[in-house]
Amino acid sequence: MSEKMSRKTSRKKLSVIGAGNVGATCAVWAAKRELGDIVLLDIVDGMPQGKSLDLYEASPVEHFDAKITGTCDYTDTADSDVVIITSGLPRKPGMSRDDLIEANTKIVKSVAEQVAKHSPDAILIVVSNPLDAMVYVAYQASGFDPSRVLGQAGILDTARFSAFLAEAIGCSVKDISALLLGGHGDDMVPLPRYASAGGIPISQLLSADVIEQIVERTRKGGGEIVSLLKTGSAFYAPAAASVQMAESIIRDQKRILPCAAYCDKEYGVGGYFVGVPVVLGADGCEKVIEVELNGSERQQLETSIAHVKELSKA
């Protein structure tokens, strides 16, 4: 078989940088969905190798086919279709996402440079905090077109919003549709006006006070988990959200998903990465969707964008 034919018939390749809780869980979700062959990389020798072997040994039980490689060498990630970057320090109690910026900037910059060297055609999904600033760092360090650099945050934040709404309404999470804009922080912008349950606006199902309480809990959702865990931060939901993005790209699903995407004229951002709904397909961010906002929503979004710009310039 020719090399050209072999490439056409080979599985897609997904690399996950960082084999901690988020990265390892990304590998699990991706393997379960059979998104392709998986490479799990970390600087701690033995950890990605051991976790990868453990996950591969689960494949006969869970019935998924994938080659799973654990490594400390970026050459093993070469020619990846999608790379998920989870590397960086996690939050601890009393810390904000912003507190991580100096240390994680160095880490994400180094990772993005290595990824660009070995997988120049990949699409990057950044998970490291502070998210919006780290996406900008990865964009600058990789030299990639901004459509191929995205941040995972909006899906996670919207999932939290949806979960809390379903709990309050007493309905299935499957029936909740919600939207959230802005940066991944306490000034994110949940949009109750665009939320519904089974097509019914949530304003007809919940009081304004309850909705506002849910909005506030959503904004502080990550901190709530950090305070409970005490030694780390969330990983199941962030990993699931990251893999949903990877799946839409790898399978060219063109899902409309809230992601940290490059916006210039869109929403008046002016050349930064911020959480907005996008069409996510084989080319990465294929379109940014602008939704109509009322005065209050626009003001909240502008506040969030200003914070994102401040962090990205730090």
Whole-number percent of the chain with pLDDT over 70: 94
**So what's the pLDDT on residue 34?**
97
Element (H, E) at 140: helix 131-142
Q: Provide the β-strand partners of residue 276.
A: 259
Residue 59: count of CB within 10 angstroms of its CB: 16
Which residue among 151, 179, 201 closes a domain?
151
Q: Active site residue: 63, 118, 184, 307, which one?
A: 184
Domain that holds residue 39: 3-151
Assessment of whether the complete model's pTM goes beyond 0.85: yes
Confidence of residue 98 (pLDDT cuts 50, 70, 90): low
Q: Provide the β-strand partners of residue 181.
A: 189
Question: Which residue carries 């907005």 as its tokens?
Answer: 276
Q: How many domains does the chain have?
A: 2
> Do 39 and 89 share a structural domain?
yes
> Do 88 and 158 share a structural domain?
no
User: How distant, in Å, are the alpha carbons of 131, 180, 202 from that of 198?
Assistant: 31, 18, 10
**So what's the pLDDT on residue 83?**
98
Range scoring the smallest mean pLDDT among 15-19, 88-92, 238-242: 88-92
**So what's the pLDDT on residue 89?**
75
Kindly give the pairing relationship between strand 123-126 and strand 82-85: parallel
Asked if 26 and 84 count as a contact pair (C-beta separation under 8 A), the reply is yes
- Average of per-residue pLDDT across 113-123: 98
Q: Residue 60 class from Cβ within 10 Å (0-12 exposed, 13-18 middle, 19+ buried)?
A: exposed
**So what's the pLDDT on residue 141?**
98
> Do 299 and 162 share a structural domain?
yes
Number of H helices, E strands in the chain: 11, 14
E-strand spans in the chain? 13-17, 37-41, 68-71, 82-85, 123-126, 149-151, 176-177, 180-181, 189-190, 196-197, 200-201, 255-263, 272-281, 284-288
> Do 258 and 142 share a structural domain?
no
Q: Is 118 a residue of the active site?
A: no
> Do 229 and 172 share a structural domain?
yes
CATH number assigned to the domain comprising residue 113: 3.40.50.720
**So what's the pLDDT on residue 314?**
63
pLDDT tops 50 at residue 147: yes
Question: Which residue carries 């992601």 as its tokens?
Answer: 259
**So what's the pLDDT on residue 43?**
96
Chain center to CA of 2: 37
pLDDT tops 90 at residue 7: no
Question: Which residue carries 């901190």 as its tokens?
Answer: 223
Q: What are the two backbone dihedrals, phi and then psi, of residue 70, each rounded to the nearest 5 degrees?
A: -105, 135
290 DSSP 8-state letter: P
CATH number assigned to the domain comprising residue 307: 3.90.110.10
Cis, bond preceding 90 (omega within 30 deg of 0): no
> Do 275 and 144 share a structural domain?
no
> Do 206 and 86 share a structural domain?
no
> Do 104 and 168 share a structural domain?
no
- Average of per-residue pLDDT across 226-231: 92
- Average of per-residue pLDDT across 225-253: 96
Kindly give the pairing relationship between strand 196-197 and strand 176-177: antiparallel
Structure confidence by residue, pLDDT tens digits, 100-117: 788 899 999 999 999 999
Chain center to CA of 9: 28
Which residue among 100, 123, 151 closes a domain?
151
**So what's the pLDDT on residue 91?**
62
| Dihedral in degrees, nearest 10, Cα atoms 81, 87, 92, 97 | -70
> Do 159 and 119 share a structural domain?
no
pLDDT tops 60 at residue 120: yes
> Do 141 and 188 share a structural domain?
no
> Do 146 and 289 share a structural domain?
no
Confidence of residue 95 (pLDDT cuts 50, 70, 90): low
Structure confidence by residue, pLDDT tens digits, 171-216: 999 999 999 999 988 889 999 999 999 999 999 999 999 999 999 9
> Do 30 and 164 share a structural domain?
no
